[in-house]
A and B are shown apart, each in its own frame.
Chain A
Amino acid sequence: MKAWLPTILRGLLFVVLVAFLLSPTTFEPVLKPLVDTNAPAIYNQGSLLDLTLQHLSTVFIATLVAIVVAILLAILVTRPFGAEFLPLSRSLVNIGQTFPPVAVLALAVPAVGFGEKPTLIALFLYGLLPIFENTLTALTNLPRSVMEAARGSGMTNFQRLMKVELPLSLPIIVAGIRLSVTIGLATATIGSTVAARTLGEVIIAGLQSNNLAFILQGGLIVGALAVLIYDGLSAVEKMLTRRLGIA
């Protein structure tokens, strides 16, 4: 019974989230006490569902590109050819993480203008780091005995990469993706300050009109998405780990 509780709670969260997005007005009575009598309790400057999908697709596209680039880069610097770049790439990851998201967002504006693009750039750069870092960690910490066995059984470099190194690294890479998506979901809200269409719009509208209901619904939708995606990816990670017999 106790073991099922978290799963049931998550299912419930998902159902409530979907219900809220499909028919926000049903929930109006819940949010009404938070606002002045004549202020709207449900976001009325656009469809919440639309914004949510927009939000998700922005994060999805940025993360997808980040995954491809990060893994390719990590593979490159762990091959003998790219070994020279390994130390520097570690330092760059370290330095890159000190750039605040708002700064990246704001600094991207002069280069690409307002709207979706600076948000995508910021999300991509921010998403890149955790995935790259994790892939690098995984690829450089593979069990020596397994690597020796792979070489010893006559695999080519490419076969070793595809059949041994990457599969073994997968759980840690997925952990990086999970981190990157969670950060991305939250960072995307800031994208609204540079006119990207994300759920941040709802929150900022709430801040501007002093409407707590707006702030809360915007924040909670993003929070719920983050929790669900985080848990989903955690489950994938656990499954992969178990399949590899690491845990």
Chain B
Amino acid sequence: MIEIDAITKRYDDNTVVDNVSMVIEPRTVTVIVGTSGSGKTTLLRMINRLVEPTSGVIKLDGEDNRAIPGHELRRRIGYAIQGHGLFPHRTVAQNIATVPTLLGWEKSRIDAKVDELLTLFQLDPKTFGPRYPHELSGGQQQRVGVARALAAEPNVLLMDEPYGALDPIIRAKAQEDLLAIQKHFGTTIVLVTHDMNEAFHLADKIAVMDKGRVLQYGPPEELVRAPETPFVETLIGDTERPFRLLAIAKAGAAAEPGEAEGEPIREDKTQQEALADLLWTGRSALPVVSASGAPMGRVTLDALLKRATRPSGSAR
């Protein structure tokens, strides 16, 4: 658990992060979104004390993060950044081994960890371990960057625009991988991005930041249903609102008893995908099946349209 309590960062007269308080639950993905200059990166960097706050406290599992020297703190927290930040003069294996080496692990344990992580990230240890970062593709470099951040088995992983430099297809794949890995290790992930789609795709909870303040902090659905400020509304986008609602709910949740013709959709697909399928094939309903293929009823166009309608009680 990360408790951020009344944290403020000022550079001279310029307040970059302004009295932010929030609690990040363990084993969740929290995404901080905002425009550039909103203070989101500074907030992230205060968690591992790459930036020292002007005032306020950050506690990790109840312990003040200033209790130990900054570099020791950072060895316990994973850190992955845009443009991967791999050391160009070290091989992939050496890059991943950086923190375990700093921590003085035994060589056999380090080697085993490197192999495990490379395999987990679908990179063959024998082929990729001895290569240098520049010999990898952008997507592979990014995976190695995340693998390096996870090498010392940290409870917390901080990610600063980790996929900013990737093209859309590779980015989507990387996001899937991240969610899988988060499940695998149960890591608490805090990720900073300016990409709202990425936030909705990954987040258990989203914090929207503007001018150093957190405007709203909650589950994605809440942000769409009840945006607290016009800025949050703008960020979500007028024309995107209905689709965002559908995008964060699964098709299974909209299933109702009944039959339908044609190609079925799996229940773990999003409702947005179900809608797209309906519109594209010109049907008014389609069958839903479980992951194992068992029929679960159908999803109708009407039901989806209702679910995409402005929820009652919302501001506008």
Direct contact of A and B (CB under 8 A): no
Residues of B within 8 A of A (CB): none
Residues of A within 8 A of B (CB): none
